[in-house]
């Protein structure tokens, strides 16, 4: 964010009554909670009943190596071809199958065990605290959405604060605009209204 845009965002926050100073960043304990949240979502995605199996995870040196370890584990533990996805809001999930059965409980359990078996050193840039999510939501709902509407665009639906937390911040009002406008119009809008998220 350039200095002018940062000043505009800070001024906007003052005008709408938001704190212009970002809340403190996450701690190592927040990173542990984030990892646990991902595992809980991933277990829910399996559709299996009961508590998730508790296993000791091996720590990979980096995120990329952790994802590679998950892929290798899934390839060896699950027969057939499967694709899988990951997102901070949704956790890990088997997405598609070729020669396998997504509804097979054994397949889902094996996938979860692969996901839970490898972690990586906490990267605090991936982690958002509750206070940070509130700070971002206030900016989006009280500044960015009204600005985009004032500029003549329509926002399909704005999540509630609780829904935004549940989405782990994975929502932007610009997503309602970008599919239907040329790039130069989007750039003009972004210059007028500000970045997708405030600095934090």
Over range 137-165, report the average pLDDT. 94
User: How far, in Å, CA of 159 to CA of 140, rounded?
Assistant: 10
Query: Last residue of a domain, which of 123, 138, 155?
Result: 123
List of residues 6+ apart from 129 with CB closer than 8 A? 23, 24, 25, 26, 30
Task: For residue 198, tell me if it sits in a domain.
Answer: no
Whether 199 is in a domain gets the answer: no
Q: With respect to residue 170, please indicate whether it lies within any of the assigned structural domains.
A: yes
**pLDDT at residue 22, as a whole number:** 86
Mark whether 104 and 181 lie in a shared domain. Answer: no
Do residues 113 and 38 share a domain?
A: yes
d(CA 40, CA 113): 12
Alpha helices (H) along 50-127: 63-77, 105-117
Please report whether residue 155 resides in a domain.
Answer: yes
Cα gap 106→87, rounded to integer Å: 23
* 200: in domain: no
Q: Are residues 93 and 75 in the same domain?
A: yes
Most confident of 67-76, 99-108, 131-140, 176-185: 131-140
The answer to whether residues 41 and 118 belong to one domain is: yes
User: In this structure, is residue 111 part of a structural domain?
Assistant: yes
Q: Which residue in the block uniquely carries the two structure tokens 């020669």?
A: 99
Same structural domain, 20 and 62: no
**For residues 177-193, average pLDDT:** 88
Find residue 85's DSSP bridge partners: 93
The string of pLDDT tens digits covering residues 163-178 is 999 999 999 999 888 7
* pLDDT tops 70 at residue 10: no
Name the percent of the chain lying above pLDDT 90: 45
Q: Grade residue 3 by pLDDT with cuts at 50, 70 and 90.
A: very low
What's the confidence (pLDDT) of residue 48? Answer: 95
Confidence category of residue 79, pLDDT binned at 50, 70, 90: confident
Say whether both 78 and 109 belong to one domain. yes
Q: What is residue 191's predicted lDDT score, i.e. its pLDDT?
A: 94
What is the C-alpha to C-alpha distance for residues 46 and 107, in angstroms, rounded to an integer? 9
Cβ atoms of 61 and 118 closer than 8 Å: no
Three-state DSSP state, 138:
helix
Q: Tell me: pLDDT of 116 over 90.
A: yes
SS3 label, residue 119: strand
pLDDT tens, 13-65?
444 444 458 899 898 889 888 889 999 999 999 999 999 999 999 989 888 89
Using CB atoms within 10 Å of the CB of residue 64, give its burial: 0 to 12 exposed, 13 to 18 middle, 19+ buried.
exposed
Q: Is residue 12 one of the residues assigned to a domain?
A: yes
Q: List 93's β-bridge partners, or say none.
A: 85
The domain of 70 spans 28-123
Tally of helices (H runs) and strands (E runs) in the chain: 8, 4
In this prediction, residues 142-151 reach a mean pLDDT of 95
Distance CA 192, CA 146 (A): 12
Mark whether 56 and 140 lie in a shared domain. no
Residue 32 has a pLDDT of 86
Q: Are residues 96 and 146 in the same domain?
A: no
In this structure, is residue 107 part of a structural domain? yes
Domain boundary among 96, 123, 150: 123
Tell me which of 103, 123, 143 is where a domain ends.
123
Please report the pLDDT score of residue 81 as a whole number: 78
Q: Residue 190 above 90 pLDDT?
A: yes
d(CA 77, CA 67): 15
Residue-level pLDDT at 74: 86
Q: With 80 as the cut, is the pLDDT of residue 124 above it?
A: no
Total number of domains in the chain? 2
64 and 78, same domain (yes or no):
yes
Check residues 85 and 13 and name the one with the higher pLDDT. Answer: 85
Give the model's pLDDT for residue 2: 36
């Amino acid at each position: 964010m350039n200095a002018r845009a940062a000043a505009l965002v800070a001024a906007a926050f003052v005008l709408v009554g938001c704190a212009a100073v970002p809340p403190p960043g996450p701690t190592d304990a927040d990173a542990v909670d984030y990892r646990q949240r991902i595992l809980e979502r991933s277990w829910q995605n399996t559709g299996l009943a009961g508590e998730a199996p508790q296993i000791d995870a091996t720590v990979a040196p980096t995120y990329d190596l952790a994802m590679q370890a998950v892929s290798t584990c899934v390839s060896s533990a699950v027969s057939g071809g499967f694709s899988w996805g990951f997102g901070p809001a949704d956790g890990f999930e088997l997405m598609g199958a070729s020669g396998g059965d997504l509804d097979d409980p054994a397949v889902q359990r094996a996938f979860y065990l692969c996901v839970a078996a490898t972690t990586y050193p906490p990267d605090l840039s991936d982690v958002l605290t509750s206070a940070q999510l509130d700070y971002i939501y206030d900016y989006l709902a009280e500044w960015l959405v009204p600005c985009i509407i004032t500029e003549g665009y329509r926002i399909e639906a704005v999540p509630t604060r609780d829904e935004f937390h549940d989405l782990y911040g994975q929502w932007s009002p610009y997503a309602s605009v970008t599919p239907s406008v040329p790039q130069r119009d989007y750039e003009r809008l972004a210059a007028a209204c500000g970045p997708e998220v405030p600095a934090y």
